[in-house]
Structure 1
Amino acid sequence: MNMRRMLFIVIPLLFILNNAVSFFIFQSGRTVQQSYNMMLDRVLLYKQIDEKTRENLRAVNVYIMDRSPGSLRDFERQNVELKALQASLSAQQPVAAAELAARSYRHMLDTFISQEKSVLDALGSRTPLAYAPFYAEAETTASFIQEQAYQLIDQELSYYQPFYRKILTQTDLMNHWGVAVFVANTAISLVFAYWISLRITKPIQGLVRTAEQISEGNLEAVPPQMGAHDEFRILADAFEQMQENLKQLIQKEKEGLEKDRLVKELELAVLQNQINPHFLFNSLNVLSKLALIEGAEKTSDLTVSLSNLLRYNLRKLDRPVPLRDEVEHAKEYFIIQQARFRERIRFETDVDEAGLDVLVPVLTLQPILENVFVHAIEGMEEGAVIRLAVKCQSDETWVSISDNGAGMTEEVRDSLLHYDEKPPKDGEEGKTGHSTGLGTRNVFKRLELFYDRKDLVRIESAPGMGTTVVLRIPRSGKEENHVSPVDRR
């Protein structure tokens, strides 16, 4: 039995048992209370009738003495109240033992009321003391009513006495049973609570110990055994599956590391067969000095720029650099390109020095400039202008690279911005007159990975209207982040 089903059975059973005991105790007390209220109501009614008969006699006596309208009204009011009590008595059913006495009691009330009426009628006659016999009879009837009321009360108490004793005995028994059931219920609840908590905490503790062993590196730790149909069985199976997946993942990671090691060894072997970069830098410096000595200053400057460009390009691609370095690198790159295009191009800069301290991925600007030279202004005979601008905003630095070249279609613009999609094939590029700009794509993707944002690039272009690429560089965070070294092509 799983935990959920067990709780659905045990808790309702305990609840029903408690409610049953409470209901029986309540019902017994309610029966006693109803019987007591019924008997007490009749006893009080007998008492009220007795008092009201005496008040009626006093009202009649007062009216006989003064014969005033106020005394008459007082008597009539007392008489109405007595008749209302008589109606209440007639509506009640007396006990069987007092039924005959109750009937006689009601007849005496009728007799008393008629005698009072006879007294009033006799007062209206001319004979002065005609009312006296009727008044004497009324007094006698009133005394009989009082005696009969006491007798009825005694009979009521005598009738209900054994009944009350029986109910009280049953109530005491029920109270004892209630206490016994309460104690048993409490003990059963404690036992079930301990058993349920043990069934919950013991498997969890076993899984916790297994997790601790795994965290310490022991991947062969065995999870505790669970019930066949228990929820913890599912949890243990999932735990074992996770453990197996972890083993497979570690094995794959080991295989990947081994492959990486082999690749690094192969790369090292290839690099050993290449020219030492320091030797190349030193050679370029020697050529620069030699050109300067021979009076070829432009050749010397161009050689220095090429040396700086090569040194910058061989930096680690997974480390950010200040935007200042990227701007200087872009200037060096333009110097080399201007040696090729000469007076056909002009390079303009508008740089806000306050925005050059932000960090950007290395080689962010050069691929965009390459794209400008290859696809925008290469076919222009003269008047080509490339503009690099850096401006500070409230929380960003905007870098824009614009040209007045051939521009691009909306299709090519979308392909550059949606760099996650598969680029067009080479045959398709030739139809538009532009390549897909893989280097530019990689710049945009590295910016997204570096800043974890996708709204950093905007391209404004139209065929024959030039192109403007705007990069929005956040000015906060990203101090020592690594950058994904995406290949430049």
Structure 2
Amino acid sequence: MTSIQRKIWTLAAIVLFIMVAIWMTLTYYNQKTQEQYNDILQRYLRMNEVTTASQQTIAALNNYRLEPTTARLGLLDRSKEELRRARLGVINLRNADNDFAITNYMNLIDTLLETVDRSLLFQSEKESEDSANAFLEATRISKYISEMTLTLIDTELKTYDRFYRGIIEQSAELKKLGVWLLLTITLLMLLFTYGFSLSITRPIQKLTQAARELSRGRFDLKVEVKSNDEISFLAKMFDRMRVNINNLISEIQQKAQLERELQQNKLLLQESQLRSLQSQINPHFLFNTLDTLSKKAYLEGSEETSDLLASVAGLLRYNLKRLDRSVTLYDEVKVLSQYMEIQKARFTDRLRFETDIDASCLHVQIPGLTLQPIVENAVIHAVEPSEEGGTLRFRVTDGEERVRIEIADDGPGMSEDKVRQILEERPMEAEGHSTGIGFSNVVRRLRLFYGIDDVMDIASGPEGTTVVLQIPKIRRFDSDD
């Protein structure tokens, strides 16, 4: 991490830390206050539950006395159970201030339960008057409980009145503290931001002043920036640039004289180059010369010499112009025929060339100078070393998606290592072709042109070698377009 990035991250971390600290403090205070409020509310609710449960118990007892059924007895039992649970909740409300009141309160609840049970007992023994008296006593106890509940709640309200006032006072103090804390943090952040900005802008201002002086041509002033970040490194590089520019100006002044002296020599050199260009042979002049010689030989009755010269001129023109772009299979077959005419003139009856061409396939696109290097390789290695010569067979057939081209010879064949070397596009040791296009180079160009690897296969043995080209009718790049 760079120095400027470290400063920025430090500033961001400080701000984030302050925000998190304030948030955690406020959250803790609010949570604590909320818990205290909940505790007070739970005390009130538990006392109110006792009053509600006692009244429900009295109502259930009265209903049972009026109509003693099993369902109403079950309702009464549930009301008594609710009252017992409410009594257990009251135990947690005991403290030093209300210990005596809570004890009396719980005794009233126990008395109410005993009175309800006594009324039920008298009811079961058919003692209606005793049961009624017990019911009236239970009713009075229930009223006492309600009154005592209100008394306890009122006591609680008076007790926690100080707590409420304390919370209000704490909130006011916290508000004041928040204001002062905000002002303090704002002041500190302004001071820190000012120092942070100065640590970045002051070196930049010095660097800007140095650049202004350099623009005025003051290359003798040293650039000095005191900082421990990337700007210091930039200033050092800027000063080094100043020194280099100053040195370059001195060198330019020293070389100005040499430049004037070399100007005349340059004019002489251009004149020499012009003469050299004039002495070079123009390829078009060479083509025209061969055509002229071909026509002259034809007029003199040497038709074979005329055809041979025409083939040489066509082959030379094709080799120089067609290598960098695609051609049709028709053009390749045509130049191959010219090449074979030249080789037949060289080998006479020793070279036999058989063809089987499907004319419907000749429109397929193929890289220039693809077939000639393969056939030339067969002539060099299969026909030339043999005293009897050899036979070359060239065949073009139509497939479903590809055109199959076979070039076969009856020579001694190639080793597996050499076949693998060709298919792996590794240069062979002796590829002395007139075109300068090697066999492995042909494989590479075909694969790049069609975007596939299985474009060539070589089968070689003692009876000869067969090179098979599987040429797609449509290039993959064309179909993508």
TM-score, normalised relative to structure 2: 0.66
Confirm or deny that 1:375 pairs with 2:384.
no
**8 Å Cα contact 1:349/1:389 also seen in 2:** yes
CA separation of 1:373 and 1:118: change in aligned 2, threshold 3 A: closer
* Structure 2 residue aligned with 1:283: 293
* Structure 1 residue aligned with 2:32: 31
**8 Å Cα contact 2:422/2:439 also seen in 1:** no
The unaligned stretches of length 5 or more in structure 2 are 205-224, 245-265
Confirm or deny that 1:271 pairs with 2:277.
no
**8 Å Cα contact 1:461/1:468 also seen in 2:** yes
**8 Å Cα contact 2:329/2:362 also seen in 1:** yes
The unaligned stretches of length 5 or more in structure 1 are 204-224, 245-257, 293-298, 425-434, 480-489
* Structure 1 residue aligned with 2:88: 87
User: Which has the higher relative contact order, 1 or 2, with Cα contacts under 8 A spaced 6 or more apart?
Assistant: 1
In 2, the alpha carbon distance for the partners of 1:355 and 1:127 equals 125
In 2, the alpha carbon distance for the partners of 1:72 and 1:471 equals 104
RMSD: 5.0
Which of 434, 441, 448 is the matching residue for 1:445? 441
In 2, the alpha carbon distance for the partners of 1:181 and 1:114 equals 62
* Structure 2 residue aligned with 1:208: none
TM-fit CA distance, 1:349: 1.4
**8 Å Cα contact 1:419/1:441 also seen in 2:** no
In 2, the alpha carbon distance for the partners of 1:62 and 1:274 equals 129
Amino acid at match of 2:467: V
Matched residues, number: 411
In 1, the alpha carbon distance for the partners of 2:62 and 2:284 equals 146
TM-fit CA distance, 1:85: 2.2
* Structure 1 residue aligned with 2:250: none
TM-fit CA distance, 1:444: 4.2
Confirm or deny that 1:404 pairs with 2:404.
no
Secondary structure (helix, strand or coil) at the match of 1:350 reads strand
Amino acid at match of 1:153: I
1:338-353 equivalent positions in 2, closer than 5 A: 338-353=344-359
TM-score, normalised relative to structure 1: 0.65
TM-fit CA distance, 1:63: 6.2
TM-fit CA distance, 1:145: 2.9
* Structure 2 residue aligned with 1:254: none
TM-fit CA distance, 1:38: 2.5
Confirm or deny that 1:310 pairs with 2:320.
no
TM-fit CA distance, 1:289: 1.3
TM-fit CA distance, 1:448: 2.8
In 1, the alpha carbon distance for the partners of 2:446 and 2:87 equals 101
Secondary structure (helix, strand or coil) at the match of 1:408 reads coil
Greater mean deviation of Cα atoms: 100-109 or 387-396? 387-396
**8 Å Cα contact 2:392/2:409 also seen in 1:** yes
1:22-101 equivalent positions in 2, closer than 5 A: 22-57=23-58, 76-90=77-91, 92-101=92-101
TM-fit CA distance, 1:404: 1.7
Amino acid at match of 1:334: M
* Structure 2 residue aligned with 1:212: none
CA separation of 1:396 and 1:343: change in aligned 2, threshold 3 A: same
**8 Å Cα contact 1:348/1:386 also seen in 2:** yes
In 1, the alpha carbon distance for the partners of 2:311 and 2:101 equals 132
**8 Å Cα contact 1:372/1:403 also seen in 2:** yes
Secondary structure (helix, strand or coil) at the match of 2:158 reads helix
CA separation of 1:82 and 1:340: change in aligned 2, threshold 3 A: closer
Amino acid at match of 1:271: Q
* Structure 2 residue aligned with 1:468: 466
1:72-117 superposed Cα distances (whole Å, 9 cap, x missing partner) = 6665554443333222212x13343323222222233334444455
1:207-255 superposed Cα distances (whole Å, 9 cap, x missing partner) = xxxxxxxxxxxxxxxxxx9986449979x99xx99xx9xxxxxxxxxxx
In 2, the alpha carbon distance for the partners of 1:415 and 1:149 equals 106
CA separation of 1:71 and 1:338: change in aligned 2, threshold 3 A: closer
In 1, the alpha carbon distance for the partners of 2:395 and 2:141 equals 126
CA separation of 1:150 and 1:301: change in aligned 2, threshold 3 A: same
CA separation of 1:152 and 1:357: change in aligned 2, threshold 3 A: same
In 2, the alpha carbon distance for the partners of 1:267 and 1:306 equals 28
Secondary structure (helix, strand or coil) at the match of 1:333 reads helix
* Structure 2 residue aligned with 1:110: 110
1:327-346 superposed Cα distances (whole Å, 9 cap, x missing partner) = 22322333343344434433
TM-fit CA distance, 1:167: 1.8
**8 Å Cα contact 2:311/2:339 also seen in 1:** no
In 1, the alpha carbon distance for the partners of 2:73 and 2:367 equals 117
Secondary structure (helix, strand or coil) at the match of 2:352 reads strand
In 1, the alpha carbon distance for the partners of 2:360 and 2:315 equals 23
TM-fit CA distance, 1:164: 1.7
